[in-house]
Amino acid sequence: MSPLLSVVSSLALWVGSALLVASVAIIRPRRLYGLWNDLRDRLWEIRKPLAALVVVLIASAIGRSSLQTVSELFGLQLTWAIYALEGNFVAWLQATFGSPQLTMYFSSVYVYGYVFLLAFPFLAYLALPRTTTVKRLLVAYALNYAIGLVLYTVVFAYGPRNVMPDMVTSLLFTHNPEFMALTGEVNEPTNVFPSLHTSLSVTVGTFAVLTRREYPLWTPLAAWLAASVVIATMYLGIHWLTDVIGGTALALGAVSLSYRLVDEE
């Protein structure tokens, strides 16, 4: 079995199991039963924002490499500006808090926890009687990816693990080399500003707070996972603090725009 297939299989197994447990514990069987009965109608209702997200994801997958070339040639070269702004913060973070236990935790959260964090809200909000929230979620996801792709093209910047290899260790790959097969398919070394892991995680956390009445158990879990992913991006040496701040701003803007674009039913 190839390394990529092995990681994808493991990811599907663990995330699928987590989704099953969370669905029963948080969404609850009655809502799941209602979703099963009305699934076709609800999917039809959300067809437009779902299609928009799919188009953005396909465009990102197809155009990523070409746009990175454009970014390298014509983009704003901000690597050293970011380094001058925050210095050795990421190196300090690793040196101060680095441990095998934290590395294992943040590596797992960065890959498995992140996928679960993005997947579960879609299922949970689709199970609600009205589809307004799931439509807003899909629009927010699409905005994150679309705006993020534009910013990745405009800004050319390497991550701290590339700039300070003697001070910052690529902990995700050092301790989990099999993850390189997966991240290599979706990331470029210059895809650092803003951090999409941060923006999408903060987006989910924000929605969890806004829907705390519908899913009170989901709110603290989503907040914990989102915060863990945000910290993981820096702890693992992948992103700068500047990328995280930019990702947070992108998330809040995307959520706000999604509420403006999708009216209450």
Give the C-alpha distances (Å, rounded to integers) separating 40 from 35, 37, 46, 249: 9, 8, 10, 35
pLDDT at 207: 97
Instruction: Name the DSSP class of 87.
Output: T
Between residues 186 and 249, which one has the greater pLDDT? 249
| Tokens representing residue 53 in the block | 């997200």
* Whether pLDDT at 179 is above 70: no
Closest CA to 52 of 265, 257, 264: 257
Q: Is 58 exposed, middle or buried (0-12, 13-18, 19+ CB in 10 A)?
A: exposed
* Topology given in CATH for the domain delimited by 3-261: Vanadium-containing Chloroperoxidase; domain 1 (1.20.144)
For helices 132-154 and 241-261, give the axis angle rounded to 10 degrees: 140
Whether residue 188 has pLDDT greater than 70: no
Residue 90 CB burial class (10 angstroms; 0-12, 13-18, ≥19): buried
For residue 30, CA distances in Å to 25, 37, 121, 127, 214 come to: 11, 11, 17, 10, 14
Q: Return the structure tokens found at 214.
A: 């519908």
pTM above 0.75, yes or no: yes
Q: What is the per-residue burial (b if ≥16 Cβ within 10 Å, else e) of 59-76?
A: ebeeebeebbeebeeebe
- For residue range 83-106, list pLDDT tens digits in order: 899 989 999 999 999 888 999 999
Q: Using CA atoms, how far apart are residues 122 and 229, in angstroms rounded to an integer?
A: 18
Domain coordinates of the chain in residue numbers?
A: 3-261
Q: Is the pLDDT of residue 218 over 80?
A: yes
Averaged pLDDT, 18-39: 91
Quick one: pLDDT at residue 201?
Answer: 97
Element (H, E) at 156: strand 155-156
Mean pLDDT of 250-258: 96
* pLDDT bucket at 263, cuts 50 / 70 / 90: confident
Tens digit of each residue's pLDDT (9 = 90 or more) over 46-78 = 999 999 999 999 988 887 777 778 888 787 888
Q: Would you say residue 110 has pLDDT above 80?
A: yes
pLDDT at 1 over 60: no
Residue 211 burial (C-beta neighbours within 10 Å; 0-12, 13-18, 19+): buried
Average pLDDT, the chain: 88
pLDDT of 62:
84
Question: Does an H or E element contain 76, and which?
Answer: strand 76-77
> 13 pLDDT band (50/70/90 cuts)?
confident
Give the integer Cα–Cα distance in Å for 227 and 244: 11
Percent of the chain clearing pLDDT 90 (strictly above): 58
> Is the pLDDT score of 185 beyond 70?
no
The pLDDT of residue 204 is 98
Amino acid at 202: V
